[in-house]
Chain A
Amino acid sequence: MADLLGTFEQAVLLSVWNLAGGAYGRAILRGVQAALERPAAAGAVYATLDRLEQKGLVISRVEDGTPIRAGRARRYYRLTAVGIRTLNESKAALEQMWRGAKWPLESKA
């Protein structure tokens, strides 16, 4: 089984997945913030994307920019087959871990 992902990595990958073809930095950042229900630093999101790309979980392509961004290029991300499998495995591992535990947990004392 591939390495399990951290919560933040899962949020980034899920955001990329949800955005389909429109997953570029700013949109991914917003998706992560919505998923985690808290502000996320742009630096953390880009560093995570970079790490995930090096692991082969996402790939990116560059497209031309728009006037609002002074013509600067956009980098779009999408999940690879390995990324989808790893994300599925992470969810399955979490569910496996919680199986049999009555949620929410209550103190046994």
Chain B
Amino acid sequence: MAGRKVAAGVKGVTREAPPRWLESVLRWCLTERDRETISGDLLEEYREEMLPRLGQLRADIWYMRQLVSFLLVRSFGGSAISASLAWMSMFTALAGVWLAIMEQVLKHPGHAERSVLAVFVVIEALATILVLICLSLARFRVIVQMSAVAVVLAGASALIRTIDAPHFEGFVFLIGSALIVQGALAIVALGRAVPRKEV
């Protein structure tokens, strides 16, 4: 692409556009309505202001900061319920990773099935965060909501088994409760995450 070629006269510049992957991530995170206009605004600022003033590396860092600001606003800057869901999903993903690792280390009977369940929980949590951040993925929210129902059931199952177990396992109770809350939040919050379609 010609726009990415040499920009003469600017110190150390080898191209006049942000890294292609950064632009792709930004455009991917925007709705169809905003994809051209917002990425165009940032490209204009990058070329006219940041690149001549800061040089390529710092201009790229500036662009990355703008992208991060979009991601943060999308995930934590929306409604209180969306922000809570983002935090809960991060916790759930970490809990799932930790559970999967512990299952593989301890290898108690049934660890293979529980590892699969933990991996599913991680995928569901990450998918929830992705749908929250990337409005272009909002069309997949029903699938994530259905996964969230499964997560709620898994959490409820864990709670029931903990209560029935001869030895109370506090961490299972805690994670089971968190799964129920996260799943319920996902079902409610993603139901509201409908992107605007008009141009």
- Residue numbers of A with Cβ under 8 A of B are 24-26, 29, 41-44, 46-47, 50, 54, 62, 65-66, 68-70, 72-75
Number of residue pairs spanning A and B whose beta carbons lie under 8 angstroms apart: 76
Residues of A within 8 A of B77 (CB): 43-44, 47
Judging by beta carbons under 8 Å apart, are B72 and A43 in contact? yes
A68→B45 CA distance, assembly (Å): 9
Judging by beta carbons under 8 Å apart, are B69 and A72 in contact? no
User: Given the known A-B contacts A42-B66, A43-B66, are A69 and B73 also in contact in the complex, defined by CB atoms under 8 Å?
Assistant: no
B113 within 8 A of A: no
Interface size on B, residues (CB 8 A): 27
A30→B84 CA distance, assembly (Å): 31
- Going nearest first, the 6 A-B pairs with the smallest beta carbon separation are A72-B40, A41-B69, A43-B69, A43-B70, A25-B41, A43-B73
Pick out which of these stretches binds chain A: B31-39, B100-108, B123-131, B160-168.
B31-39
**Closest residue of B by beta carbon distance from A51:** B78
**Closest residue of A by beta carbon distance from B72:** A43
A72→B45 CA distance, assembly (Å): 13
Residues of A within 8 A of B71 (CB): 43
Judging by beta carbons under 8 Å apart, are B34 and A46 in contact? yes
A23→B66 CA distance, assembly (Å): 20
Which listed residue (B17, B47, B74) contacts A43, Cβ 8 A? B74
A70→B3 CA distance, assembly (Å): 8
